[in-house]
Structures are given as structure tokens and as C-alpha cells.
Amino acid sequence: MKTLFTKKENIERKWYLVDAAGQTLGRLASRVARYLIGKHKPTYTPNIDCGDFVIVINADKIKVTGKKLIDKIYYTHTGYIGNLKAEILKEKLEKEPENVIIDAVWGMLPKNRLRKRIIKKLKVYRTSEHPHKAQNPEPIQLT
């Protein structure tokens, strides 16, 4: 029996809707990454982007466990000497909860050339409203 490999022309992409309200950040990120990569499909091929689109709503209602709200620090550096910026998770969740989820999913994706292409299929929104109703996203429970 021959092993079948998926080709770019044969990929069928679906749209999935995930409600992040009450979900734990890390568990949500790993399960969303699985759908973005395409590992939930029987036709998964590691060297081809065969994943689906994922819409995450209610990003401001995400929860974290332990003392991560004050202990987890996000660092950014502008490239200039002395310009290392630090921001704790609590501040980042208040300002931009969408980027917290995107950063968590980014860390779960494979570290290869497909990473940038895969993350573009993730759409995160602060509230329950989103502009992708025309794609008829299928709601899924990630529990």
C-alpha cells in the first residue's frame, strides 16, 4: 500500500469558531494550534499547510491559573541600546487580549517556514462579534 501525500490543490479549508470565555490560555492555545496546523485531519502532511481557519471570540474573558497575571512578563526590544520593554500579563490583557492569545498560539506552532503562513489563519476578537459570518464557521468545543 502506498502512502498518500496531500497536495496543495486538494486541500479543503474549513472555518471553525471557538469561544474563549472561561477557557485556560495555554490549553486553548494548544488546541487552536492543532486545528491551524491541520493535525485533526486524516490527510495531515507536515510539509504542507493543510490546516483550517480558526476564529476565537471573547478574548477578554480568557483566564489563567496560578500567579501568572503578575509573574508572567512579556519582553519586547526595539533594537536600540537600553530599550528593553517589559509588560506583565495583567496589563497586556487589559490593553490587548487578542495579542495574548496570538502570542500563545505562535509559541505552539512548529518553528519552520510555514509558521508565518499558519498564524495568518487565526482571527482573534475581543467580543463575541466578528466579521466572518459569511464563511459559516462551525462552532467547536475545545474541552
Within a domain: residue 111?
yes
CA distances (Å), origin 31, targets 20, 40, 46, 65, 141? 12, 10, 17, 17, 10
Within a domain: residue 18?
yes
Within a domain: residue 27?
yes
What is the rounded CA–CA span in Å between residue 121 and residue 111? 16
Taking only the tens of pLDDT, the chain with its 143 residues reads 788 888 889 899 999 999 999 999 999 999 999 999 999 999 899 999 999 999 999 999 999 999 999 999 999 999 999 999 999 999 999 999 999 999 999 999 999 999 999 999 999 999 999 999 999 999 999 87
pTM: 0.92
Within a domain: residue 80?
no
Quote the strand ranges of 38-107, DSSP E: 53-57, 73-77, 84-88
Within a domain: residue 108?
yes
Within a domain: residue 88?
no
Within a domain: residue 3?
no
Do residues 68 and 89 make contact, with C-beta atoms less than 8 angstroms apart?
yes
Domain count, the chain: 1
Domain holding 133, by residue range, is 12-63+98-139
CATH code for the domain of 26: 3.90.1180.10
Q: Residue 1's pLDDT is what?
A: 77
What is the rounded CA–CA span in Å between residue 101 and residue 48? 24
